[in-house]
């Protein structure tokens, strides 16, 4: 164990050294490396598929469920998608060196704020091999060294991907240690990594809630995390019902297993009788199970739409499947109260034609994204135009919501004088 401890520390020290080179690497060199990484991924296709086949065989032998095997699987199409995603990062604007603001002081000092990399980023994730190349590309472009600790079930695939990426780095004259896979191992290795304050600047865990809680509870290094998405759609009295139906259906059914899918519908009493039968029928037709409070259950029942009674446990629950909790509320205040109590600060949407009500909702609903007259599903780095996202934060420190390249940087003050003293 003490050997493993030493290994982990020297891994991080190597990353720290590489990060110093990356911090002042020119954009053109980083982009050249990204394009070389993409080429190397394509060239390594047979190697990647062979490594992945071994991972898959082991996972199958271990009795992993089919959804797990699907996430783990690489094929030619997926490898091509990984390579393209890396190339797309080369086309994004380099955040490093960006002057975000500047001003003059009365004493003549000129002050500006300039973006710089965070340093070393540790990604912890489960068995999706594409996270390895996605995270590596975003870290590199933002001038950060990356330590990538994927799930042990994907270890062979990840090692093969990392080797291809390292070859691309070397081709462009950047340190291969800029991107390093962390050998999977016992929890002890992970614990050691999480304690390396001063060597690791940010840890981003991605995966199930239990992994994220483990990281959050044991880390000494800063963690930006996302526990869950309990997203509400509030249909206000002044909503366009056709729009509200479209939004609710999309938010719930377009991809129910993701964190920006809706889990609960709040409906103003004033339009519940007009709206609920219509939206309820459409939801049920798409296979959604409804869990309704007494008021909405009554209305749905009278309209002949099947709904189970909701219990206290249905509020604030992240189903991640085709189930929707429904509650009738008496206006904006009650909706905000419900969201304040049961929401997860991820995404909250309102449907209304009343700009004043929407203004209060967007100000007062506590979430990384508040949405007026659109689907909750838009709280996503790609959809918002960030280019690509490395994760999503539901805590407010450093970043709140989808994290793109900018969120992988910090800002320093640059002060320019003509000999000023205090």
User: Binding residues for a copy of itself, per CB under 8 A?
Assistant: 20, 23-24, 97, 103, 105, 109, 111, 114, 116, 118-119, 197, 201-202, 216-217, 220, 222, 224, 240, 243, 246-247, 249-251, 254, 340, 358, 362-364, 366-375, 377-379, 383-385, 395-402, 410-422
* Minimum CB distance to a copy of itself smaller for 115 or for 156: 115
* Minimum CB distance to a copy of itself smaller for 23 or for 159: 23
Closest approach, Cβ 169 to a copy of itself, in A, equals 20
* Minimum CB distance to a copy of itself smaller for 309 or for 359: 359
Closest approach, Cβ 42 to a copy of itself, in A, equals 29
Closest approach, Cβ 352 to a copy of itself, in A, equals 11
- Say how many C-beta atoms besides its own lie within 10 A of residue 198's C-beta: 11
* Minimum CB distance to a copy of itself smaller for 220 or for 286: 220
Q: What are all long-range contacts of 216-223, with beta carbons under 8 Å and residues at least 24 apart? A: 218/190, 218/191, 218/194, 219/194, 219/195, 220/194, 220/195, 220/196, 221/122, 221/194, 221/195, 221/196, 221/197, 222/398
Cα–Cα nearest to 387, from 407, 404, 401: 404
* Minimum CB distance to a copy of itself smaller for 309 or for 340: 340
Closest approach, Cβ 378 to a copy of itself, in A, equals 6
* Minimum CB distance to a copy of itself smaller for 38 or for 349: 349
At what angle are helices 27-43 and 76-91 packed, to 10 degrees? 170
**Half-sphere exposure at residue 319, Cβ-oriented, CA atoms within 13 angstroms:** 22
Closest approach, Cβ 286 to a copy of itself, in A, equals 13
As a whole number of angstroms, the distance between CA 286 and CA 206 comes to 30
Closest approach, Cβ 279 to a copy of itself, in A, equals 14
* Minimum CB distance to a copy of itself smaller for 148 or for 248: 248
- Say how many C-beta atoms besides its own lie within 10 A of residue 420's C-beta: 11
As a whole number of angstroms, the distance between CA 249 and CA 253 comes to 6
**Coil, strand, or helix at residue 319?**
coil
As a whole number of angstroms, the longest Cα–Cα distance in the chain is 80
Closest approach, Cβ 366 to a copy of itself, in A, equals 7
Q: Are 164 and 37 in contact (CB under 8 A)?
A: yes
């Amino acid at each position: 164990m003490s050997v493993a401890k030493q290994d982990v520390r020297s891994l991080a020290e190597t990353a720290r050294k590489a990060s110093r080179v990356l911090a002042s690497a020119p954009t053109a060199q980083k982009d050249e490396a990204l394009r070389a990484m993409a080429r190397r991924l394509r060239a390594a296709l047979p190697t990647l598929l062979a490594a992945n086949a071994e991972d898959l065989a082991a996972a199958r032998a271990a009795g992993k469920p089919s959804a797990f095997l699907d996430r783990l699987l690489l094929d030619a199409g997926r490898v091509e998608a990984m390579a393209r995603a890396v190339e797309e990062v080369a086309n994004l604007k380099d955040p490093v060196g960006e002057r975000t603001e500047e001003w003059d002081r009365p004493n003549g000092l000129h002050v500006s704020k300039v973006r710089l990399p965070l340093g070393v980023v540790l990604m912890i994730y489960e068995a999706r091999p594409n996270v390895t190349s996605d995270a590596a590309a975003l870290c590199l472009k933002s001038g950060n060294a990356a330590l990538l600790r994927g799930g042990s079930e994907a270890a062979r695939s990840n090692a093969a991907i990392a080797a291809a990426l390292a070859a691309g780095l070397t081709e462009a004259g950047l340190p291969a240690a800029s991107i390093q896979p962390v050998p999977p191992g016992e929890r002890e290795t992970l614990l050691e990594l999480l304690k390396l304050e001063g060597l690791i600047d940010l840890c981003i865990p991605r995966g199930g809630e239990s992994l994220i809680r483990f990281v959050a509870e044991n880390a000494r290094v800063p963690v930006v995390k996302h526990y869950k998405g309990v997203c509400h759609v509030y249909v206000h009295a002044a909503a366009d019902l056709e729009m509200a139906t479209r939004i609710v259906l999309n938010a719930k059914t377009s991809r129910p297993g993701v964190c920006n899918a809706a889990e609960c519908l709040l409906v103003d009493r004033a339009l519940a009788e007009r709206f609920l039968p219509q939206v309820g029928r459409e939801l049920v037709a798409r296979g959604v199970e409804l869990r309704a409070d007494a008021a909405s259950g009554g209305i749905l029942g009278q309209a002949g739409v099947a709904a189970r009674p909701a219990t206290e446990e249905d509020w604030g629950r992240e189903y991640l499947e085709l189930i929707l909790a429904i509650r009738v509320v008496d206006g904006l205040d009650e909706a905000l109260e419900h969201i304040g109590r049961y929401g997860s600060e991820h995404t909250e949407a309102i449907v209304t034609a009343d700009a004043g009500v929407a203004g209060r909702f967007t100000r007062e609903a506590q979430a990384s994204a508040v949405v007026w007259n659109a689907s909750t599903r838009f709280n996503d780095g790609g959809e918002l135009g960030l280019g690509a996202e490395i994760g999503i934060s539901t805590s407010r420190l450093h970043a709140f919501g989808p994290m793109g390249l900018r969120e992988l940087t910090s800002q320093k003050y640059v002060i320019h004088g003509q000999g000023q003293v205090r």
